[in-house]
Structure 1
Amino acid sequence: MPTKKELLTNPIQHIDIKQHNVVPLVDAMANMAYSSRDLNRAAKIYEMMLLDKDCGVILCLAGSLISAGLKQIFVDLIRNNMVDAIVSTGANIVDQDFFEALGFKHWIASEEYKYGAHDADLRDLAIDRIYDTFIDEDELRICDDTTKIIADSLEPRAYSSREFIHAMGAYLVKNGKTPANGGADSIVLAAYEKNVPIFCPAFSDCSAGFGLVAHQHHRSAAGKPMVAIDSAKDFYELTKIKLENPVTGLLMVGGGVPKNFAQDIVVAAEVLLGDDADVAMHKYAIQITVADSRDGALSGSTLKEASSWGKVDLAWEQMVYAEATMALPLITGYAFHKEAHAARTGKNFATMLEPVTA
Structure 2
Amino acid sequence: MKTNGIVSGFLKHHFRHFNAATLVDAAEAYRAHLESGMPMLLAMGGAMSTAEIGLSLAEMIRQDKVHAVSCSANNLEEDIFNLVAHDHYVRIPHYRDLTPADERKLLDQHLNRVTDTCIPEHEAIRKIEKHIFKIWSETEKRGDRKLPYEYFYELVRSGVLKSEYQIDPKDSWVLAAADKNIPIFTPGWEDSTLGNIFTSYCLKGELKPSTMKSGVELMMHVTEWYRKHCTDRGVGFFQIGGGIAGDFPICVVPMLQQDMEIDVPFWSYFCQITDTNESYGSYSGANPTEKITWGKLDETTPKFAINSDATIVAPLIFAIVLGG
TM-score range, shorter chain: 0.7 to 0.9
Offset at residue 24 of structure 1 (A): 1.3
Q: Distance in 1 between matches of 2:318 and 2:93?
A: 29
Aligned match of 1:7: none
Q: Which amino acid aligns with 1:170?
A: R
Instruction: Give the corresponding residue for 1:26.
Output: 11
Structure 1 runs, 4 residues or longer, greater than 6 Å off = none
CA-to-aligned-CA distance 1:114-169 (integer Å, 9 cap, x gap) = 34322122122222211111221222232333332221121344433343333233
Is 1:66–1:97's contact at 8 Å kept on the other side of the alignment?
yes
TM-score if structure 2 supplies the norm length? Answer: 0.87
User: Is 1:293 equivalent to 2:257 in the alignment?
Assistant: no
CA-CA distance at 1:306 after TM superposition: 1.0
Match among 228, 239, 246 for residue 252 of structure 1? 239
| 2:158 is the alignment partner of 1:164 | no
Q: CA deviation at 1:191?
A: 1.2
2:216 to 232, 245, 250: 232
| Alignment partner, residue 269 of structure 2 | 284
2:255 counterpart (248, 256, 268):
268
CA pair 255-225 structure 1, distance change in 2 beyond 3 A: closer
**Structure 1 residues 67-146: aligned runs within 5 Å:** 67-94=50-77, 96-105=78-87, 106-111=89-94, 113-117=95-99, 118-139=102-123, 140-146=125-131
Q: What's the counterpart of residue 311 of structure 1?
A: 296
Q: Provide TM-score, normalisation by structure 1.
A: 0.79
SS at match of 2:20: helix
1:58 aligns to what?
Answer: 41
Compared CA separation, residues 233 and 81, structure 1 to 2 (3 A): same
Shift of 1:69: 2.7
Q: CA deviation at 1:87?
A: 0.2
The 1:143/1:162 distance shift into structure 2, 3 A limit, reads closer
Q: CA deviation at 1:107?
A: 3.3
- Give the Å deviation of 1:330: 1.2
Q: Which amino acid aligns with 2:150?
A: E
Checking the alignment, whether the CA contact within 8 Å between 2:76 and 2:149 is kept in structure 1 is no
Distance 1:175 1:237, change over 3 A: same
Percent pairwise identity: 22
Tell me the C-alpha RMSD between the 2 structures.
2.5
Q: How many Å apart are 1:234 and its aligned residue? A: 0.8
Report the Cα distance in structure 1 between the residues aligned to 2:157 and 2:55, rounded to whole angstroms.
20
Q: How far apart in 1 are the matches of 2:304 and 2:269?
A: 9
1:327 aligns to what? 313
Partner of residue 138, structure 2: 153
Q: Which runs of 5+ in 2 are unaligned?
A: none
| Inter-CA distance 165–271: structure 2 relative to 1 (3 Å threshold) | farther
Per the TM alignment, residue 229 of structure 1 is displaced from its structure 2 partner at its CA by 2.9
Q: Deviations over 1:159-203 (max 9, x none)?
A: 3334333323334x3543697x98634222211111111010111
Of 180, 192, 215 in structure 1, the residue corresponding to residue 178 of structure 2 is 192
Q: 1:266 to 1:221 in 2, by over 3 A?
A: closer
Q: Which residue of 2 aligns with 1:12?
A: none
Who is 1:46 aligned against?
A: 30
Amino acid at match of 2:36: D
Residue 52 (structure 1) shift: 1.7
